[in-house]
Structure 1
């Protein structure tokens, strides 16, 4: 029997620009030679957008309740880690996370007791919401099939510089199901996807039940954890300060459009979910919200206006919050500018407090603390290095 895992846990853009001048006369030819730029040169100078794509495949059958709290905080550790990452071309990678559950009797047997909970998304509040929505029930766990399904259904892209990872967690033999996990591993290698496995149980048992082989075949990491071990959260003198700053941060968001009110409420709801697990998880989430990866342009005017995703002249009064109804375009712009400055100041303050917090944690961490967290981050950084990511 297994317990359900609750986890509080872009394509390629190429700009083609051509400058071709057909001129006569030696003087004009000389000028052309000094001012024109070839397409190849422009493409070379334009950094490629790179992505980190991570699919979490979680066993939600009846025996892993002890893993739930470990997994819920892992989302924010991943986000915080990649908020500092740089690609080889000095650009910053975009993070997208997908979520599957498998091994649950509540899921359709015709689908192999598995389903896609969330397609690749960079919406951190939505990812958090989906992780917390999972519930457990006994079932059959088909590792090979859920890996295959995630490879078929998700848009992994063809950019070989992207970091593409699968993390699959469970505690039943990796060999269950009609689809051989070795075939799924071959498929993963063809798509340049690395499969990492997390066995919830004894290390040697995971090896005997093929969890290690499932990872090794794609160059991934095998991890074994005690899912029933109590999580060690290290409280720091900076936690309360960060949490208070997070409340102030929420007040800088300006909801708009059909999604605005609902997404604004979801932001606070996911703060509460994180705090319910532990105060330290709430702190990790607050740090994520202060990073470049926390973007809400789909419902927040500050992010949308900052990224040129909306024109103020196109907004109707009905799409605006009460504070901006009947305001002129100039007044709305001034309000957005004010909130943007407030947000930047608060995010910077959170980052400064977190730097102190991290130093405190490093000084008070025992080797056995945060086993799942450390194992996943170690695997991620090792595999990121193969794509020339750096920190």
Structure 2
């Protein structure tokens, strides 16, 4: 069987990497969180920095070990980029899109390519889509999937934004009717960097043009050992963080048409992480306590932080039962109480996370970090410097 599932791993890394944002050198106003739906493109916000990352994942045949590694490392990368900031101390926004290619279950008319997720900043949605991927044999057309993402996604024209493609696989980069060099040329015109991840021997990837595919746009070529097993270190702080995560979920107040389904998604992604390994669930909990986990499109506490949000504009039928029949003052007071509770829990998690990291460094082993994670972070940080990024 082919090793394309390695690609999935890569995708996860890429997702996290996306969390590193591009920065404007001059301060600009505007801090609105971008919420994307899988079915519609997001209008460009020219007043705030945004990192746009498209993950192009080969889902032909099986590579469960790599996929699981990617799923678990997603939260490592998210947590790494929690502290990313621009030169003007701004905090950029993150959007991630996901494509799968090379799967026999996909339409041959579309070149065995499918958009799984349009640009989105919803971490739960990104996680859900990654967990939904299934592998099957097929033809892998790298040039065509790159060109498809260039054509279908709204990349925008803001020169301050960081725009990146991460494509992963292990078949020759030259397959398909569309020449990858033409796709790379089109990407360069749009100021989009293509990074390639070959799952296998470094030299073999070079010989099959994966390195060439990256260098044409100034991107990074990486080769990884997808079979490397990651050993997660259990710490004395894990159980406490997981209990705090349960309390954290209790601070969310759903509203609108998306409310109930999004709360269910939050829980299901907690469960997905836990099924992989307890340590992964802990890392996800840490991500949920960061600024990158924002759900203002369905949670009243996050929405309340938005200066343009007016709680009085919410219909009573769109409120949870606990707030129906309450006065506007009572609703505002309830939201404020949950806001205070959430901030307290998030701080507790972050404090424990710092202690946990110290414990892990002290007890780390050679295989306690993933090759995908390391490779992606190196590429992201290198390219982010051009956009004036730095890490606290």
TM-score, normalising length: structure 1: 0.87
* Partner residue, 1:381: 381
> Structure 2 length normalisation: TM-score?
0.87
**1: CA distance between counterparts of 2:179 and 2:26?**
42
Q: Map 1:169-188; keep pairs closer than 5 Å.
A: 169-188=168-187
Query: Pairwise mapping of residues 145-160 of structure 1 onto structure 2 (< 5 A)?
Result: 145-160=144-159
Does structure 2 conserve the Cα–Cα contact (< 8 Å) formed by 1:70 and 1:373? no
Larger relative contact order (CA 8 Å, sep ≥ 6)? 2
Alpha-carbon shift at residue 159 of structure 1 (Å): 1.7
Distance (whole Å) between structure 2 residues aligned to residue 333 and residue 319 of structure 1: 15
Q: Which residue of 1 aligns with 2:319?
A: 320
**1:202 and 1:225 in contact (8 A); partners too:** yes
Paired residues, what number? 358
Q: Which moved more, 1:141-150 or 1:237-246?
A: 237-246
Distance in 1 (CA, whole Å) between partners of 2:371 and 2:191 is 27
**In 1, distance between residues paired with 2:385 and 2:309?**
37
Structure 2: how far apart are the matches of 1:6 and 1:275? 19
> Higher Cα Rg: structure 1 or 2?
1
Is 1:46 the counterpart of 2:28? The answer is: yes
Query: Which sections of structure 2, spanning at least 5 residues, go unmatched?
Result: 13-24, 30-46
Query: What's 1:91 paired with?
Result: 90
Once the two structures are superposed, what CA deviation does each residue of 1:31-56 show, in whole Å capped at 9, x if it has no partner?
A: xxxxxxxxxxxx96635511111111
What is aligned with 1:224?
Answer: 223
2:232 is the alignment partner of 1:250: no
- The alpha-carbon deviation at position 133 of structure 1 amounts to 0.5
Residues 27, 90 of structure 2: 8 Å contact kept: no
- Quick one: distance in 2 between partners of 1:345 and 1:358? 20
Distance verdict in 2 for CA 1:63–1:45, change over 3 Å? closer
The CA distance in 2 between the partners of 1:281 and 1:341, in whole Å, is 27
Partner of 2:109: helix, strand, or coil?
helix
Q: Determine if contact 1:225/1:371 at 8 Å carries over to the other structure.
A: yes
Aligned residues of 2:254 and 2:298 also touching (Cα < 8 A): yes
Q: Distance in 1 between matches of 2:212 and 2:294?
A: 38
Aligned residue runs from structure 1 range 1-391, under 5 A: 1-2=1-2, 4=5, 9=12, 46-47=28-29, 48-368=47-367, 369-391=369-391
Question: Which SS does the other structure have where 2:116 is aligned?
Answer: strand
What do the CA deviations read for 1:99-149 (whole angstroms, capped 9, x no partner)? 000000000011110111001100111111111111001000011111111
CA distance 1:108–1:241, shift in 2 (3 Å)? same
| Structure 1: unaligned runs, 5 residues or longer | 10-42
Deviation at 1:243, TM superposition (A): 1.2
Q: Distance between the aligned counterparts of 2:89 and 2:26, measured in 1?
A: 13
Q: Which residue of 1 aligns with 2:21?
A: none
